[in-house]
Structures are given as C-alpha cells and as structure tokens.
Structure 1
C-alpha cells in the first residue's frame, strides 16, 4: 500500500505571518528548548546504545530497516555503501530492547533524539514500570502489604513494558526524524529573530486551538467524576500535574511540528495557494466515484408472515387491508404498527440505511433499488423457498424513504472539500520535496529495531 509522502501531517489551515518582519531581541533559546541544537549536546547522559541498525544516507540507494539488517553481522547483506551495520552489544533475538528515558534512540546529523521525548505522555506505562520496581520480592512480602513478585514474574512484566515502549518508539521515530530534518533546515535558513517570531506565533496558536480542546476534554472527565468544571489554563496545569503530566512539556512537544508546518507553508507558497474553478471541476470529474457514497437505502416495511399454504390466504387478506389503509392516506408508520408482524413493527416498520447485499431475500432487496423513492409499492409475496420447501414466507409492502449511492453529490456541495483535498495533496508533495532534499545530505542513525527508516514509499 502506498505510503503518504511524509509522516509529518500538515494542518489544513495556513499559519500566516511575516518571517521577514523585524522581531524582538534574538531569543533563540526558546526554540532550542523545544528541539535539540545541531551541535553536540553536552547534557545527554548516555551514549547511543549500539545495536544492529541502519546508518542511512539516501544520496545513494535506499537503506533497509534494522530488522532487515539484523541477521547480517558482517555487513555482507547491505549491498550499498549507504548502509553500515552498527557494532554493539549482544542480545537475545526475541528479547525486547530496553530504553531509559535518557537513552538515544536515533541521531539526525548528530542531533540526538531521546526515548523520553517520544514516550513522555505514556503515563500508564511509566506507572506500571514504577509499580513493578516498587513491588517487594516474593520472599520478602509481608501479610497485608503489597504482593511480592518472584524473579521470573518481575522479569516477565519488565519485558512486557520494554516491548510496549520499543513498539511505540519504532512507530513514532520516522515522523520524529522527519520533524528533526525540517527543524534543522529552519535553523539553518532563518535568522534568530525570525525563529523567535515563529516561536511566539505558534505559542499563540496553541492557546487558540489546542488549549480549548484540552479544557473541553478535561471538563468531560470532570463531569463524569462529579468534579467542578475547570475554568482556566492554570487549573488545567494543576490537574495535569496531578496526573503526572507537565503542560510545558506538552507545549514543547507540540511546537516543533507546528513550527515545521508554518515553515513549509511560508517557504513553499502554500500560505497563498489558490485553487481555480477549473481545477476543482477537473478533480471532481476524475474522482466522481470517490465522492459517491456506498449504495444504501432507508425504508419502511409492512411484513405479514405465513407458515404454510393454509396461512397464505389469511396473510394476503391482512396485507390487502393494510394496502387499502395506505391508499386512503393513513400514515405508513401507523399502518405498520396495526398490521405488520415484522421485527420492527412497533417502530413503524422503519429500517435505517441498508446496503444492497444486506438482505438475504433478493425480491425484497430488489424492491429497495427498483421502486421510486417516496412511493408505496404494491404488495408482493416472498416465499422462503421457490419450490415450497420449507413452506412459509411473508407478504411485504415497502416504501423507500431515501436512497444514496446512485450518483455523486453535486459539485457545489463538494467545492470546499475538493479545494482542501487539492491543497492537502500539494502540501504533502511540498513536504516530501523538502524532506527528500534533507535526506540526501543527512546522516541518520536509528537504534530501535523494527523502525522503518527510510519510510516505505
């Protein structure tokens, strides 16, 4: 399956501001707090864990993932000067990797990406690991105290936590690496005052877009727990602290990607992009089937079943009486409640959206697609079997309320949606082009097994 051009998703709304306008004092420190600098980081407490993995440089042919290389200890399977195997410690083939928060999981042109930066919001995993570490040994547990763990139990639970953390890291690393590539490009091409202005604009955007949604979700939880609603950012900050989350860390994790988005908007012309009416028309014509909803119908039914030939005549009398009521103008739902013996008779015989293949009876299904919408159809017999074995069946009267999937909605109803789709495609292409340029000159080391880097195209 084709992969989107970039793991870095772009917001549909452009962030518009001038990168060339004079800013305040050069406070590049704020940006450096959000992402690491391009120089050696003196505060990283641990060197990268050297395990089999890919050292990627895509100026030649694409490299393979760490999983693909793990069996080639001598490097013979690499097949390209762009791939090297990182020598390192021995490990069990099926043992999960263990990463502390301070461990380096990848480097992007020498800039370290730390496990903790990608896992800081995995509160449940952190809590579980803390409980495992705090649990006493089984032979030291006291009656009435916390249960103890045997060495085997502790090892098994710890391995489960390690596996979960490593899986999350492998899934998130490709997008984080691409984010780091764009961040480095920004720092190379923008002046300090421009970065500061960008940082301030994105901070304002957080308060305008993300904070209200965070407050809303927090208040949903508050109502469910019977707590008073949260009214301010500071109250939310305190609540998050009680749950082990740091709001400043949330903002710091959110900012780099948004700053990259803003940079792409401004430096690829996306902020001022205009889609012509002809482009919209051409897209609609080429993707008409994509906009046509799946076939389905909403309908009403009067059903009068019979068990054998003797009961068929009585059932016909009932359904004809119901048809007479409908011809005299009595509402379908009332007639259904009076005469129908179907499963939903007391709901007026109404059925919600039904797909063409959802009904086993072909005659009944055909009525949903052949009858004019809004008209009451003639009564028809649906025996259980054409040859009468088993005996029985039912008479039906059907009225189709609404049908969809025959044609695509009119263009005017889809114009805004199509414009956004075209803009989204162009943004993805622009991001892919920028990232491709950065990859061509980048040196990227990945230390988490199973990470798909370079990402599959």
Structure 2
C-alpha cells in the first residue's frame, strides 16, 4: 500500500511541477470562486452564515486554461441543472478531531488548505477571513462546516480535471491548442450570453453596472463567476458522460419494490363535499343555531344554489369558498360526526343536521372513492422513475468516489478524504 502511495505521489508530483509557476501566481493574485452550496447539517449548533469568499479586490484575475482536444465534445449550458455535490459528501466529513487544531484567529485568505490534482485550494476560496467575526470563529460548528465546503470544492475540481484529461489523452499539442481555442470561445459565449444574464435576472439587476457593484460588495468579479460556472459545468458534464442517465430497470426489480413497499400504494377512502355550518359561538342559543342551519338546509332543498347559501348564511371557515371541501381522507377530520357522515350518506344528497362540539352542520358529498391498493400496472412508471433515480444516484456516488480516489489530493484534513495525503508531504 505504501509503495502504491509513493508511486502515486511521484506521478502526481511530476504533474505538480509543471503547474507550480501558475499555482504560485494564483496564490498571490487569483480570486477563486466560493463554494455556493450550503453545507449539510453537522449535528452541531448551527454556524452563522459563513462570510463570502474571495481574495483582496486589488488582485488581478488569472483565467485558467481549458484544454479539450476533441472537436466533437458537446458542451451544453448546464448551468440551470448543475449538480449539487453537497449531497454526496459523507456525514463523517469534518467530524474527526485533528491535531494541531486550525488556528482560527490567525488564518488568512492565502493559507493553503488543499491541493487537488494540479490546483491549490486556499482558505480564501471558501470564505473571506476578513469578514469572519469572532462569533463565527468561536462557533463549534465553524470548522466542520468549513471542511464540508472544502470537500465540495475538492470533488468539483477533481471532476473538472478528470473531464479535461479524458479529452486530451493521446492528443498532440497542436490538437490541444486548436481545441482549446474553440472550446474557450464556446464556453465564454455560453457564459456571457446565457449564464450571466440569468444570474443578473436572479439577483434582480437591470444593468451590468448594478451587478458589478453587487459583486464588489462580496469581493468577487465576473471572471471568478465565470471560472466557477465553467468548473461546475465541466464537473457536471464529467459525471453525465460517465454515468448512464437512464439506467436499465428490470420488471422484476419493479415488482420486488412494489411487493416490499406495498403500504406506499395503499389509498385511504376519500371524499369531496360541501358543508353548511351554524357555529354555536355565532348565535345566542343552541336553538337559534339549530333554526339557522335548518333554514340553510331548506334554502338548498328548495332550489337555491348550495354555494350561494353557504356564502350568505354559513358561519363555517369554508363559507367564503361556498362551503366546498377538497379531497379529504377518511379519519383526517377533527369532527368525527362529520367524518362518519361524508363516508356513509348517498352522493349528491343533503345529510340530516349533524351536531358536534362546534355547532350544527349539513353536508353534501360530491365525489367519493373507497379505500384501495393501487394495482402494480398503474404505478409501474412511477416505480421505474424512482428506481432509476436511486440507481443513478448510487452510480454517481460510486463514480465520484472513484475519481476522488484516483486524484492526487493533499489536504489540511486527510481524515476527511480517504487515500489523501497531509499537506506536510506536498513538497517532499
């Protein structure tokens, strides 16, 4: 195992040497994107919202090159459907206590917390230390949440790099340069024509100037947004190109699910009905309430529309809607006498006066269905969809774990990433 780690480290270190000059410049000047997704619950006291990430605004932005060799690579604007990688982060991430503890009072934006493949991850890529108040830093949930956000960045970068590497394998430098020009132009066009206007719309910014001012308040730039959007798109595309979006679901699998989850397909008896009410609290005596409900019933019986009578005379909470009640499951009503009536009287017939603790009522059932178990044939497509989603999620998680395990990762918290190495070994 150790020899395998050493070979893996040497191979990764050769790649690291080629990227070192760019990495050093990035550490000094680049404003990387922040982790947008909210960290899952840590089971500890909730942290205050983490401050927005970004290196100082006086820095200049360096755009990272994207080398994709094949001209046949299809790039689509997946911004609206970019994957949320937070759901693939294990609950154990951020929970293991490490020594020495992170000195939260002295950390800075340029502090290195991980190196993923050929890219560094700094504290400033996750949060803005200048906006981290003592209250945030002292919260017990701060560091676990920070580590969960780092885990999302790690997997996103690993996937984006994997997608690029899959395209350039075996290609000449000339082919890479030609494809790079084409793909970078395509990505920039998609970002500025589709993604950026959508971001402005969601932030309710009518002009680019308003949007730039909004970004400045967060120590961000359009370039950092473009980098994040591109990385998210490539990472999502990597998963979609390696994991079947429509896995095969056998009939036997669907039948097994139906048999094992039969309670999901049981339906209670239910009814739609209309109701007239004379609430005791609205009348001086019970007799006055009874006289009122009797008059309402006579009005409907002799031809006045139920809805009109309910709106003009009923004192129930559905009176303004004409006394109409939507589908109601048997046993779900507070009033047992009304519940029993709507599941026993004939359809489209006025009930006798019903008394409960609130008042007197008259109901008329419009439609009713009996309790039943939905046949397998009626829910087959529903089950197929559910099983396909579950299988896809499982395959995606397995693929993400595979990519992570095959990516050279050095991190401040190797406990969170099985197979990773501590930062102290990065330069060894």
Distance 2:339 2:92 in 1: 51
Aligned pair in 2 of structure 1 residues 161, 346: CA closer, same or farther (>3 Å)? Answer: same
Q: Which residue of 2 aligns with 1:263?
A: 238
Distance 1:320 1:311 in 2: 14
Distance 1:216 1:353 in 2: 38
> Quick check: 254-263 or 422-431, which moved more?
422-431
TM-score where L is the length of structure 2: 0.57
The runs of 5 or more residues in structure 1 that have no matched partner are: 1-35, 47-61, 71-86, 130-156, 223-228, 385-392
Is 1:189 the counterpart of 2:166? The answer is yes
Matches within 5 A, 1:348-359: 348-350=322-324, 359=333
What's the offset of the Cα at 1:383? 3.6
Q: Which residue of 1 aligns with 2:82?
A: none
What's the offset of the Cα at 1:111? 4.2
Aligned pair in 2 of structure 1 residues 45, 350: CA closer, same or farther (>3 Å)? Answer: same
The 8 Å contact of residues 264 and 431 in structure 1, kept in 2 or not, is answered as yes
Distance 2:240 2:391 in 1: 11
Q: Which residue of 1 aligns with 2:56?
A: none
Q: Which residue of 1 aligns with 2:200?
A: 215
Matches within 5 A, 1:362-377: 362-367=336-341, 375-377=348-350
Q: Which residue of 2 aligns with 1:437?
A: 402
Q: Which residue of 2 aligns with 1:73?
A: none
Q: Which residue of 2 aligns with 1:249?
A: 224
Matches within 5 A, 1:62-73: 67-70=95-98
Distance 1:174 1:294 in 2: 45
- After superposition, the CA RMSD in angstroms is 5.0
Distance 2:381 2:17 in 1: 40
The 8 Å contact of residues 274 and 363 in structure 2, kept in 1 or not, is answered as yes
The 8 Å contact of residues 257 and 383 in structure 2, kept in 1 or not, is answered as yes
The 8 Å contact of residues 155 and 400 in structure 2, kept in 1 or not, is answered as yes
Q: Which residue of 2 aligns with 1:302?
A: 276
What's the offset of the Cα at 1:196? 6.2
TM-score where L is the length of structure 1: 0.54
- CA displacement 1:387-408 (0-9 Å, x = unmatched): xxxxxx5221234567899679
Q: Which residue of 2 aligns with 1:160?
A: 136
What's the offset of the Cα at 1:252? 0.9
What's the offset of the Cα at 1:283? 9.7
Is 1:331 the counterpart of 2:305? The answer is yes
Matches within 5 A, 1:414-453: 424-442=389-407, 444-447=409-412, 453=417
What's the offset of the Cα at 1:203? 4.4
Aligned pair in 2 of structure 1 residues 419, 381: CA closer, same or farther (>3 Å)? Answer: closer
- CA displacement 1:61-99 (0-9 Å, x = unmatched): x997554343xxxxxxxxxxxxxxxx64786xxxx5654
- CA displacement 1:272-301 (0-9 Å, x = unmatched): x58689699769957786688999876542
The 8 Å contact of residues 109 and 125 in structure 2, kept in 1 or not, is answered as yes
What's the offset of the Cα at 1:259? 0.5
Q: Which residue of 2 aligns with 1:382?
A: 355
Distance 1:334 1:396 in 2: 16
Distance 1:419 1:159 in 2: 48
- CA displacement 1:347-392 (0-9 Å, x = unmatched): 53345676766643222234455567x73540343343xxxxxxxx
Q: Which residue of 2 aligns with 1:117?
A: 125
The 8 Å contact of residues 325 and 335 in structure 1, kept in 2 or not, is answered as yes
Aligned pair in 2 of structure 1 residues 110, 266: CA closer, same or farther (>3 Å)? Answer: closer
> Quick check: 273-282 or 111-120, which moved more?
273-282
Q: Which residue of 2 aligns with 1:238?
A: 212
Counterpart pick for 1:319 among 293, 304, 307? 293
The 8 Å contact of residues 302 and 340 in structure 1, kept in 2 or not, is answered as yes
3-state DSSP of counterpart to 2:304 = coil
What's the offset of the Cα at 1:197? 5.5
3-state DSSP of counterpart to 1:68 = coil
Aligned pair in 2 of structure 1 residues 383, 183: CA closer, same or farther (>3 Å)? Answer: closer
Aligned pair in 2 of structure 1 residues 37, 376: CA closer, same or farther (>3 Å)? Answer: farther
What's the offset of the Cα at 1:447? 3.0
Distance 1:361 1:296 in 2: 15
Aligned pair in 2 of structure 1 residues 274, 198: CA closer, same or farther (>3 Å)? Answer: farther
Distance 1:409 1:203 in 2: 51
> Quick check: 103-112 or 258-267, which moved more?
103-112
